[in-house]
């Protein structure tokens, strides 16, 4: 087996749930043990219909029983360097997304600060069902890492996405998890996310359709690589990613003040927020009445947060986003040059299914030398890929 040095000495809590793919778990345990990984196993009630505890113990796993004495869920949560659920059925994904804690496995998942990885396994239609997709999106937004699933023949006789990844693929994913985990350990990152809201009166204001999903995904990906992340967020219903410090703001001026307060402790700045370019010159104290057929509102320009950060000395590595229509690449190139930033991520907002509000995005990554178009993908995947590109470009002194 290929040497995987970053796995040696690690501790994996393996949760096995009730799917046919559980038959692969003894081989997974054997390979983890061969890589010198300590493995403790929690079997769900239904998992025991597909794999015997004795078979897992025979290849080196320590089986943890539900009725073990003491605060076993806390002990396991603190022991693990990673929690891996394989196979992860549609049912357990739903319970994790809902924050359920009705058995040992889901309870320790809530109690742990270790990375949580899931290797889904289910029928192709179940995997593509909108309910499952929504649960997966919610889990990814919280920092849960997905390993697979793959495509191919399934136990039900059909073929398609939903096959649990093979043991070698799972080990490679764990290797990447720990190889990448400390890449940004010394980096202080500030990320802005979401829309800003510019009040006109106590009831109304100007905003945009940004959901904050892209910025939150970037913050989660940076934290997963070890960065100390401050997320400055406009109004959104999204939960703060695990390990990320969130500062809620409303207006562009509030966001600028929050960013400016971080300027002495910022190695990396990612401006993913859709900041309003203008705000009403006057905020009315009382609700505006519709007395006239037309209304004129005088707008004044908001501060350009990204451009201001790019002028700091010393200057953090700066990444901007350009949500555009029309010639997206040309407009983004001009924005990068005008603001003097290192990297810009351009995305069209006039294409169905990508950009604002949705879970997917299609972007063009642009630096001083070239532009690379990425295929449409979930925002969580794009965030992880973007962070890998940032790591390549960060000055070695950071």
Q: Which phi and psi (to 5°) does residue 350 adopt?
A: -110, 15
Calpha distance 209→115 (Å, rounded): 31
Residues serving a catalytic function are 156
3-state secondary structure of 238: coil
Q: Which two tokens stand for residue 65?
A: 């029983």
Contacts 24+ apart (CB under 8 A), 64-72: 64/40, 64/104, 66/42, 66/103, 66/104, 72/104
Q: Using an 8 Å Cβ cutoff, are 208 and 321 in contact?
A: no
Q: Which two tokens stand for residue 284?
A: 């009315």
3-state secondary structure of 15: strand
Q: Using an 8 Å Cβ cutoff, are 230 and 316 in contact?
A: no
Q: Residues with Cβ < 8 Å from 118, sequence gap 6 or more?
A: 84, 85, 86, 88, 92, 93, 96, 139, 144, 145, 146, 147
Residues in the chain: 398
């Amino acid at each position: 087996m290929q040497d995987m040095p970053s796995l040696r000495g690690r501790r994996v809590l393996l949760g096995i749930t009730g799917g046919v793919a559980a038959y692969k778990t003894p081989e997974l345990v054997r390979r983890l043990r061969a890589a010198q990984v300590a493995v403790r196993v929690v079997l769900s009630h239904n998992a025991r219909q597909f794999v015997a505890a004795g078979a897992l113990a025979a290849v080196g796993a320590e089986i943890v029983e539900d009725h073990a004495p003491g605060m076993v869920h806390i002990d396991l949560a603190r022991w693990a360097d990673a929690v891996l659920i394989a196979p992860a059925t549609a049912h357990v994904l739903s319970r994790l997304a809902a924050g359920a804690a009705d058995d040992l496995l889901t309870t320790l998942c809530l109690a742990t600060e270790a990375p949580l990885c899931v290797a889904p396994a289910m029928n192709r239609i179940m995997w593509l069902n909108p309910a499952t997709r929504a649960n997966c999106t919610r889990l990814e937004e919280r920092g849960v890492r997905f390993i697979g699933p793959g495509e191919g023949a399934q136990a039900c006789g059909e073929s398609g996405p939903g096959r649990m990844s093979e043991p070698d693929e799972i080990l490679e994913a764990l290797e990447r998890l720990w190889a990448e985990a400390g890449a940004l350990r010394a980096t202080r990152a500030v990320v802005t996310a979401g829309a800003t809201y510019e009040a006109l009166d106590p009831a109304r204001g100007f905003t945009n359709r940004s959901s904050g999903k892209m910025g939150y995904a970037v913050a989660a990906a940076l934290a997963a690589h070890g960065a100390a992340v401050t997320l400055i967020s406009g109004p959104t219903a999204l939960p703060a990613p695990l390990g990320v410090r969130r500062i809620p703001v409303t207006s562009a001026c509030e966001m600028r003040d929050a960013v400016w307060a971080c300027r002495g402790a910022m190695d990396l700045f990612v401006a993913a927020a859709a900041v309003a370019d203008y705000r009403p010159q006057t905020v009315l104290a009382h609700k505006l009445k519709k007395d006239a057929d037309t209304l004129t509102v005088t707008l004044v320009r908001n501060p350009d947060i990204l451009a201001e950060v790019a002028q700091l000395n010393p200057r953090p590595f700066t990444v901007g986003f350009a949500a555009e229509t029309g010639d997206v690449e040309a407009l983004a190139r001009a924005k990068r040059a005008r603001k003097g930033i290192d990297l810009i991520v351009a995305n069209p907002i006039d294409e169905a299914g990508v950009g604002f509000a949705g879970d997917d995005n299609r972007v063009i990554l642009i630096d001083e030398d070239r532009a690379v178009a990425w295929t449409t993908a979930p925002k969580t995947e794009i965030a992880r890929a973007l962070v890998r590109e940032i790591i390549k470009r960060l000055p070695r002194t950071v």
